[in-house]
Amino acid sequence: MPDFRKPTVVISKCLEFNHCRYDGSMIASDFVRKIKPFITAIPVCPEAEIGLGIPRKSLRLVTIDGEPHLVQPATGVDATEEMNTFANNFFTSLPSVQGFILKTRSPSCGIKDVKLYAKIDQHVSAEKTTGLFGGSVLDQFQGYPIETEGRLRNVYIQEHFLVQIFSLAAFEAMKKTSSISALIEFHTRNKFLLMAYNQQQLKILGNIVAQQKDHSFDEVIQSYQHHLLISLEKPPSKKTTKNVLLHLFGFVSEHLSAEEKKFFLDMLENYNENKIPLGSISYVLKSWIVRFAEPYLSKQSFFSPFPEDLMDEQLSMIADSQRYWK
């Protein structure tokens, strides 16, 4: 099994960590609960941190002089300056982080669909925006995985987020070696995963590694990290993933019988038509890689981009599919 580095993830403290919402409650999140043992969490409640108390009167975003302000209608308190100051200080004090999970639609932590009111006493919001703290996160950490607990109820969004944070954690560990050979090994191990995500960026990353002798290690790492974030920004398409599966199949196909080849191609078609999950066909492919002793392929992160225990639903689907194919 791969030795996974723990990603550092900033999480809204009200999500499974503390009863710190405006009404003193805590939000249940199966996903946050599940990943806790596998990450280094930095819980934060910006509203409590700026001294608004627990419980507290609810906040809302209101347009004042053309700008969104974080106000407390019941008291008339405007906490905009305090929140902006806290955000700047918080970001400055952060270690290297690989992702964020923030409270959805929160006037402080929300990253989209946050109600913005034209007046403090208005009952219907005029438009939608980002929370004050959440908007600062989006500005300061462009390209990094930033999600809400609401979106992370979707198993496919979960998988994409996990691939991002564990890939970035592995990259962060590699950076600390200050070793070009470690960078080459990282790029080699992630070749097919990056091919599935973004083939254009994979070529750019390959060129960065190939031309590393012309630049300092810091310059190479900075450039590689920039394009790695772009590579992982969007989940892989069905087309590119299928292309990778065919590439990998090419390494072992000469060892297979005609019946086994047909079996795999039938599975590939079923995957393409959403009849079986990716994990099922990957599992069969990996069994052949082990069987025919392909060490280069067996180390590819494409097969295990994050700890399998974090994808209970996916593993269950794999098991169901295996029973179907027997």
19 plus 145 within the same structural domain: yes
71 plus 141 within the same structural domain: yes
Query: Tens of pLDDT along 155-207?
Result: 889 999 999 999 999 999 999 999 999 999 999 999 999 999 999 999 999 99
Contacts of residue 163, defined as CB under 8 A and 6 or more positions apart, other chains included, come to 193, 232, 305, 306
Single out the residue in 200, 232, 264 at which a domain terminates: 232
Record the pTM: 0.92
In a domain, 140, yes or no: yes
- Count of domains in the chain? 3
28 plus 145 within the same structural domain: yes
Query: Tens of pLDDT along 5-28?
Result: 999 999 999 999 999 999 999 999
251 plus 275 within the same structural domain: yes
Integer Rg of the chain from CA: 23
What are the structure tokens assigned to 307, written together?
A: 């700890």
What are the structure tokens assigned to 49, written together?
A: 């941190």
Whether the predicted pLDDT of 321 surpasses 70: no
159 plus 61 within the same structural domain: no
14 plus 146 within the same structural domain: yes
Q: What's the whole-number average pLDDT of the chain?
A: 93
Query: Tens of pLDDT along 104-160?
Result: 999 999 999 999 999 888 888 779 999 999 999 999 999 999 999 999 999 889 999
Instruction: Work out the widest C-alpha separation in the chain, in whole angstroms.
Output: 75
Q: What share of the chain is helix, strand, coil (3-state, %, to 5)?
A: 55, 10, 35
In a domain, 16, yes or no: yes
CB neighbourhood size of 177 (10 A): 13
Q: Peptide bond before 55: cis, by omega within 30 degrees of 0?
A: yes
Contacts of residue 58, defined as CB under 8 A and 6 or more positions apart, other chains included, come to 22, 72, 73, 74
Structural domain range at position 250: 238-325
262 plus 221 within the same structural domain: no
Residue 6: HSE in the Cβ half-sphere, 13 Å Cα cutoff:
11
242 plus 225 within the same structural domain: no
In a domain, 173, yes or no: yes
